[in-house]
Copies of this chain bind each other. A is one copy, B any other.
Amino acid sequence: MAVFEQDEMQNDGRRIDFSILVEAIGYQLRRAQLTVFQDFHESFANEGLRPADFSVLLVVSANPGLKQSEVAEALGIQRANFVAIADSLEQRGLAERRKSETDRRVQALYLTERGEEFARGMLRTWRIHEDRLVEKLGGPAERDRLLELLGRITR
């Protein structure tokens, strides 16, 4: 997304009137989300880690043995689209699929030892990213307040 300031000077000195966009929750939510994802992307540029990979690694690490479809649904990812994500994590040696003994249809997901180690480093990088955001917000209290307000929208 282009870097710009609201009510920025443009157009030969005339200010652009953003009208009610400045108070549109969806618009401001979208802009903030893009800003945060941009920072996330730069933080993980070396690892080539996308937000979806990050969330899958966290959930599988905390819930070893979950079915693919359970991880996918928990994260709001269609199971069809989850296949490529699991493929990539498996090819990178970070996760593995194991066929369930009791139901041969299901693939249970686990992190490899290398995956667990990768996740630990990933979390260190993530905390730096997150701390930068918390500082922008003004502190942990503001972070908590933001999360609480976002939660009211989501649930």
Contacts and interface: CB of A to CB of B under 8 A. Distances in A.
A89 to B, nearest CB: 16
Interface size class on chain A is 35 or more
A14 B62 CA distance: 12
A23 interface: yes
Interface stretch (A4-12, A91-99, A110-118): A4-12
B149 A2 contact: no
A9 to B, nearest CB: 11
A16 interface: yes
Contact of A51 (B16, B26, B123, B126): B26
Contact of A19 (B30, B62, B130, B145): B62
Interface of A: 1-2, 4-6, 8, 10-11, 14, 16-37, 40, 51, 55, 58-59, 61-63, 66-67, 70, 73-74, 76-78, 123, 126, 130, 133-134, 136-138, 142-143, 145-147, 149-155
Given A11-B70, A18-B59, 18 more contacts: A2-B73, A2-B78, A10-B70, A16-B59, A16-B63, A16-B66, A18-B62, A18-B74, A20-B123, A21-B59, A24-B126, A25-B134, A26-B37, A26-B51, A28-B154, A29-B150, A35-B154, A137-B152
